[in-house]
């Protein structure tokens, strides 16, 4: 069942997103929905809330070896940076 959703976004982001959607032959709504679905599916595969969305989007692109040690190193870096 589809439900209407209202979002507040920067007007430039909206305009550029509309252009992008048109080039992709999709509606902006379907692109947003696809993106949200991809986030939800990543959440099932990785502990997405323990790492930044940017890093989570890169998981699996490059073989980094031991994921747990890389994740721990990244979390230590983030904690040190915010301290």
In this prediction, residue 22 carries a pLDDT of 92
In this prediction, residue 46 carries a pLDDT of 52
pTM for the full model?
0.49
Q: Backbone phi, then psi, for 44, in 5-degree steps?
A: -70, -30
In angstroms, the first-to-last Cα distance of the chain is 45
Handedness of CA 39, 44, 50, 51 (dihedral sign): negative
Q: What is the pLDDT of residues 23-79, one digit of tens each?
A: 989 999 988 988 888 877 766 655 545 667 777 777 666 666 777 888 888 889 888
């Amino acid at each position: 069942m589809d439900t209407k959703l209202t979002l507040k976004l920067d007007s430039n982001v909206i305009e550029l997103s509309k252009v992008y959607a048109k080039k992709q032959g999709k509606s902006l709504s379907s692109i947003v929905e696809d993106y949200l679905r991809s986030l939800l599916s990543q959440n099932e595969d990785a502990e997405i809330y323990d790492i930044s969305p940017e890093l989570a989007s890169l998981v699996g692109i490059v073989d980094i070896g031991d994921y747990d040690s890389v994740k721990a190193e990244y979390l230590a870096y983030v904690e040190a940076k915010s301290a």
